[in-house]
Amino acid sequence: MEQTWRWFGPKDPITLSQVREAGATGIVTALHQIPGGTAWTDAAIAERKAAIEAEGLSWSVVESIPVTNGIKARTESWRRDVEAWKQTLSALGRAGIGMVCYNFMPIVDWTRTDLAWPLRSGLALRFDIVDFAACDVFILQRAGADDDYDVDVLTAAQNRFAGMTDARRAELERIILAGLPGSDFAYDRAAFLDLLKQYGGMGPEELRQSLGEFLDEVVPVAEEAGIRLGIHPDDPPFPLFGLPRIVSTAEDAGALLDAHDSPANGLTFCVGSYGSRADNNLVEMIGAFGPRINFLHLRNVSIEAPQVFHEAEHLAGGSDMVAIIAAVRAEEKRREHEGRPDHVIPMRPDHGHLLAADPVRNANPGYSYVGRLKGLAELRGVIHAVDAMRA
């Protein structure tokens, strides 16, 4: 596995020299300053690539080219936004960057209700469906929101909301409506509720059709550009705000891969996202989809209750990280024997805890320096141990 690190560009308080000291060799980044629906230029890509290579690192993965709500909701901007996406793919191909991670989650990206949940191992990200419902129903007051929750969750949410301070209510709204990590954008309440109307009650089949039409356009371009795509699973892997999420289960992943039987149409296998559902068997999924896994996010979660989880340490939580890494290493060996040029799969340590000793206190939530360094070191140790046992 290639050991990579997510870096948010020149504004990231974690420097490329610190990344190099952590032991990573590849960088996972994007041109976050360019809004979705705008094509990346050759010059902008070259500038970022040169900055990375000047530190002795390589730009291994683009995460992400934003897939706009116009694409997902199939609005009037669909054609323009898809063309910009395709132009960006072609430019990345010309620059020799061969892997692009993206997601197809409506409106919001990964969503949490707490960004600094205290654990013995540091401050962690956490999702609690009761807090989320309290925000959705009683703070945002989304029309029809109370119909989307079980009565037990709705009752608990009402009680939770009643006990919240005004500061916690404001914090919860801010956390849930935050934009993509690394971006300068977040929704306000009015803009968010207005954007929901674009989806017009879209169901899972309509969203799958939208994703299929998007793939019809971009997969041939990716093939021509020499780029492998990897769709990130839903995080959390269940519907939010009454909108479907369609990359949550093994069945979802299989259907997506079947839609375009191409090496360019693959998965970003995020252990934490798929592992947030108890009905996903991750080792079996790697066995089934291994040839189409193009990128790995290695993190772990502990499920506290249905739709309630927190980010665990990388070798803790509910997913057997040792077995997962062993399955990935077996897939890499299989590819190597086949002579595949992509037999080394890039991975990155995802969502580290914020530790008391971390000198960087203003990193994006989940993207601490020492917490990810610790995770990468632990994962590196497992890789070496698995390889030694197979030798």
Positions marked catalytic: 232, 270, 297, 350-351, 367
Query: Please, which residues bridge with residue 109 across strands?
Result: none
Other beta carbons within 10 angstroms of residue 270's beta carbon come to 27
What is the signed CA dihedral for 169, 172, 174, 175, rounded to 10 degrees? 170
Rounded alpha-carbon distances, angstroms, from residue 361 to 42, 176, 233, 249, 366: 34, 21, 28, 35, 11
Query: Please, which residues bridge with residue 348 across strands?
Result: 297
> SS3 for 385?
helix
> Which of 135, 34, 125 lies closest to 317 in space, CA to CA?
125
Contact in structure between 28 and 4 (CB atoms under 8 Å):
yes
- Please give the Cα distance from 123 to 277 (Å, whole number): 22
Query: Please, which residues bridge with residue 72 across strands?
Result: none
> Which of 30, 40, 34, 43 lies closest to 84 in space, CA to CA?
40
Strands (DSSP E) contained in the chain are 2-6, 26-29, 58-63, 99-102, 114-119, 122-128, 228-231, 265-270, 293-298, 300-305, 308-312, 346-349
Q: What letter would DSSP give residue 263?
A: T
Buried b / exposed e across 158-190, counting CB within 10 Å, b at 16+?
bebbeebeeeeeeebbebbbbebbbbeeebeee
What is the DSSP annotation of 184-232? S-B--HHHHHHHHHHHTT--HHHHHHHHHHHHHHHHHHHHHHT-EEEEP
Q: What letter would DSSP give residue 178?
A: B
> SS3 for 150?
coil
Dihedral of alpha carbons 285, 288, 292, 294, sign:
positive
Contact in structure between 371 and 358 (CB atoms under 8 Å):
yes
